Amino acid sequence: MRLRNKIFFTILLLFTAVSLCSCRSAQTAPSEDTDLIPSEQPAEDQANGSAPAANPSVSAASDTVQSDTETKTQDGSFDSSTTGDQKPLEQSDADASAAQPAAPSISGRLHVENAKLCGEDGRPVQLRGISTHGLAWFPEYVNEACFAQLHSEWGMNVIRLALYTAEYGGYCNGGDKESLKKLIRDGVSFAQSQDMYVVIDWHILSDSNPNQSLNEAKTFFGDMSKEFAASDHVIYEICNEPNSGTSWDEIKSYANEVIPVIRTNSPGAVIIVGTPNWSQNVDDAAKDPITGYDNLMYAFHFYAASHKDDMRSKLESAINANLPVIVTEYGICDASGNGSIDIPQADTWISLLDQYGISYIAWNLSNKEETSALLKSSCKKTNGFTADDLSSFGEWLYQTMTD
């Protein structure tokens, strides 16, 4: 009986030892369903990750997913020492400074850093989109289906809402202020729902000098900045195109009155200031920029059939002087917004802007019978546009936005 018990306990000890060895082997051996490390990803996934997406927000989202994958450990968990928003080890400094696709859900509230428009993570971003024509005369294009199509099919990530001031029916000359402000509110809301940025544009033009409507501007931007204080996607353009001899000193005086009004409600919002001579003389601003405020940018406008090498030199001189520049209006026709178009010059302009990561917003979203309109004058649609609805400019812009 004693021998039988000894044999039994010996067999039990041997069985326990074998079981422990098996468990230790199972813990150290990779399981069949362990997540692949990046070098083991299928070839087609790598190819898809490197292909540019037509939709900027999709491209940016894909980049985020890839970063998260690179921080996974072999067991599929995330290493807390390397988060997805860190620069991958193989990314060059040049890649880090290049403008990235932008969307409010990805880039968050924009700011100006080292003379560049940047997202919350400090990476430079590039806005590309279109401006409405005057809201008082073409209100019908402020609709969500239109914005959705421009975002999803054209790859646009910004809409500019052009609020004329002095023209009859404009905000300061007989216009219905409440109706116009409702169009602004709707545009801001539609842009947000479509994950786009929006520029509220105080469209100085025939009034030439923004100081003519200084009090109205302060009241308007006070109301808007208070209402949209929590909206990360809103940008304020406080004077479209000062002209007819309005000096940079006069524009600065105006800006120094309006900027504090916005800053009271929206301390971090990006504010765009127009420049002399229909927002062409950015070199004047570069010599004497506004001080005392962060997150300021300066508007530059061009029309390709009229503005060529001399204007490109003017822009580059301002960029080289570290002036934060944004193109809030451009066309491929002459400076009147009408006349013949110059596609080679337009392509040269876009190449230059892309080279520097400068944001650009085209003029204009309407069916007005002029060359700069996106749509043919015969097109009565306000969304659901097809190729047959586009003007020659519209065809060029679609190709440019989707390449």
User: Which structure tokens are listed for 274?
Assistant: 């127009």
Which of the residues 241, 257, 369, 370 is marked catalytic?
A: 241
Cis peptide before 364 (omega within 30 of 0): yes
d(CA 304, CA 353): 13
3-state secondary structure of 100: strand
The residue whose two tokens read 């020659």 is 392
* Whether 44 is catalytic: no
* Whether 257 is catalytic: no
**Cα separations in angstroms, 136 against 32, 108, 131, 211, 368:** 64, 30, 14, 22, 13
3-state secondary structure of 314: helix
How many residues are listed for the chain in this entry? Answer: 403
| Residue 237 near residue 201, CB atoms below 8 Å | yes
Which of the residues 167, 237, 329, 370 is marked catalytic?
A: 329
d(CA 377, CA 219): 36
Element holding 387 (H helix, E strand): none
Active site residue ranges: 241, 329
